[in-house]
Amino acid sequence: MINDMLKIGLAQIAPVWLNKEKTTEKIVAYISDAGKQDCDLVVFGEAVLPGYPFWVELTGGVKFNSSVQKEIFAHYLTQAIDPHSEDLAPVCSIAREKKTAVVLGTIEKAANRGGHSLYCSLVYIDKGGVVQSVHRKLMPTYEERLVWSPGDGHGLRVHKLGAFTVGGLNCWENWMPLSRTALYGMGEDLHVAIWPGNKRNTEDITRFIAKESRSYVISVSGLMRKSDVQEEIPYSDWIISNFPEMPADGGSCLAAPDGEWVIEPVVGKEFLKVAEIDHKQVRMERHNFDPAGHYSRPDVTKLHVNRERQQIIQIDEDNNSI
């Protein structure tokens, strides 16, 4: 019989901003700590590897063909990761060693789209240290669209973890009813919402999704302080001069399937907070409402999901080539 209990870790950290090597080292240390506490799963915030593009709204990011924006973007691109290369090898290795699954917010440079456009991607790594899915954010929000590209449905997937079925979305994707519905229909009962930070993002929707889905909902945010801006970043002086003291204050939290807090939003500090959740509570709350089961009406409304990975070319090999 599968154990109903699952131990999860909420890792609210600040990246070593726009430095993938040092941020990876920090992520590995937190996974190691979670593993020592026997966590089955540890979750990090949106875009934490290597960081959220806070500079855009602080440095005139909307100006077309700006040499400033080009140079910062070029640096950002060098710090982005390819999840199918060796970039995530240290993360996968520690996940395998500690037998801890990981949800990690990344900035992805996608090899199948030429490698020079960026995607805000949620990566799921299983307990064996294998990358099982990469979900590219479907629609970047507002100024994010100046540096991130729109994703696709390929990563709308769920994964079994003990008694639970885990799925996740990036930031404001969690406000998209059909994206949530897609995961519900795949059996999700542990929803992971990752954010760049701020309690204002997490304090309402975390409990709302829990009540709507009758699932546990983990919201994990990043943290960002003026002191985290690295001097080697192009135009760092300009960025720092406009930077708020704490543009991302965290707000990581955990809600139960009845919408009640297990962990209320925590702000202003880095931490690893661990909690145990019980699948029996999911089953109990599904008794009177199950959004993809007995309370759905597929004869009236039905969702179509396209999980094809979008790319610009399809190569048909020539079998007669030398």
Instruction: At 66, list the tokens.
Output: 């700006």
Catalytic (active site) residue 137 = yes
Is 171 designated active site? yes
Closest CA to 88 of 150, 33, 133, 152: 133
Are 168 and 121 spatial neighbours (Cβ–Cβ below 8 Å)? no
Using DSSP's 3-state secondary structure scheme, residue 65 falls into coil
Tokens 């950002």 — which residue? 76
Q: Which of 171, 173, 212, 285 is catalytic?
A: 171
Residue that is written with structure tokens 């109903």 in the block = 4
Residue 52 CB-half CA count within 13 A: 28
Q: Give alpha helix (H) positions in 37-103.
A: 67-79, 89-98
Q: Degrees (nearest 5) of the Cα angle 23, 24, 29?
A: 100
Question: Which residue among the candidates 137, 188, 211, 212 is catalytic per the annotation?
Answer: 137
Active-site residue flag, 46: yes
Name the active-site residue from 20, 26, 46, 92. Answer: 46
DSSP state of 100: -
* Catalytic positions: 46, 137, 171
